[in-house]
Amino acid sequence: MTELWLVRHGQTDWNLQGRYQGQADMPLNPTGLAQARTLAAQLEGQPFNVIYSSDLQRARQTAQILSNHLGLVLRLDPRLREIHQGEWQGLLVSELSVRYSEAMAARRSNPLTARAPGGESVAEVASRVWAAAGEIARAYPTGRVLVVSHGLALATLIAKGRGVPLEQVYSLIPENAHPCIVEWSPGHLDPD
């Protein structure tokens, strides 16, 4: 089994404002940079094989700080990106409830397949993120790997790793720059 240390990127201004980021390429704010440096110091001495990261700026910046501090190779993988929020990207939750009330209701009633207009579903995100995790597990079958990504993308890994129904994914979104550990095997998605 591969031990995946899942890390959500550090804070951005849009996190503070409560805006849906999705795949908008926002940078870390000063707090987010400090969070990444603090995490790097906390992880010092842990034996990691490598760091994989989403290629979006906020994850990449977090991973680069970790990579530099821990002396690890950093590999970027666009499959680790956050859910694409389509027309919702950049909007506040309060705006969504007014402008997209039907779509928000659909997401609550069917979180796996509902999607923002022009965006992805949770099921689609899980499929691509789980495929990336499977490749990482095949490359490091008994290793310990840092994976820097985004809230919902990581929550799909947490759900699968802990045996939690994917419908509960929104309750599993981790805090910024706090690691969560799951075990993953290359055959994690094989039928039982």
Q: What is the DSSP letter of 166?
A: G
The catalytic residue among 44, 69, 82, 183 is 82
The catalytic residue among 3, 9, 135, 167 is 9
Concatenating the DSSP letter of every residue in 44-85 gives TT----EEEE-SSHHHHHHHHHHHHHHT--EEE-GGGSPPP-
d(CA 77, CA 150): 12
What type of residue sits at position 86?
G
The reply to whether 175 belongs to the active site is no
The tokens for 186 are 């290359």
The reply to whether 9 belongs to the active site is yes
Contacts of 176 (CB under 8 A, 6+ apart): 8, 9, 10, 11, 15, 32, 35
- Residues with a catalytic annotation lie at 9, 82
